[in-house]
């Protein structure tokens, strides 16, 4: 039986069928895992995706700073040339 097709009545019948030692616990655990996997959505981003986004943003900021640095230095030099001192 696949976890996504299992009905509650089938589970209770399967759990009551010849329980030995830890079989009941193992069956409950397997059902819980199957139910959790079948109901999960993949809406959120993983840490790897956040890492990729952070690296792209970092590269964009560094590129912008390097492209604008010459203009900023020239502007500061022109202001310091105007100031007395």
Summarised one tens digit per residue, pLDDT across range 58-69 is: 999 999 989 999
**Are residues 28 and 60 located together in one domain of the fold?**
no
pTM for the full predicted model: 0.40
Residues 73 and 57 in one domain: yes
* Max Cα–Cα distance, the chain, nearest Å: 96
Provide the domain limits for residue 85: 44-85
29 and 53 inside one domain? no
State whether 35 and 50 are in the same domain: no
How would residue 20 be classed by pLDDT, with cut points 50, 70 and 90? low
Same domain, 32 and 48: no
Residues 7 and 31 both lie in one domain: yes
CA–CA gap between residue 85 and residue 69 (Å, rounded):
25
- How far apart, in whole angstroms, are the C-alpha atoms of residue 61 and residue 25? 54
Residue 43 has a pLDDT of 64
Residues 53 and 27 in one domain: no
Domain count, the chain: 2
pLDDT of 17 higher than 80: no
Average pLDDT, the chain: 76
Based on the domain organization, do 16 and 52 belong to the same domain?
no
pLDDT at 15: 53
């Amino acid at each position: 039986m696949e976890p996504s097709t299992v009905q509650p009545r089938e589970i209770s019948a399967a759990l009551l069928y010849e329980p030995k030692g830890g079989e009941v616990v193992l069956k409950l655990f397997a059902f819980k895992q199957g139910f959790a996997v079948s109901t999960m959505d993949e809406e959120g981003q993983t840490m790897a995706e956040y890492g990729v986004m952070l690296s792209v943003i970092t590269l964009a900021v560094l590129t912008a700073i390097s492209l604008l640095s010459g203009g900023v230095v020239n502007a500061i030099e022109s202001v310091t040339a105007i100031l007395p001192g």
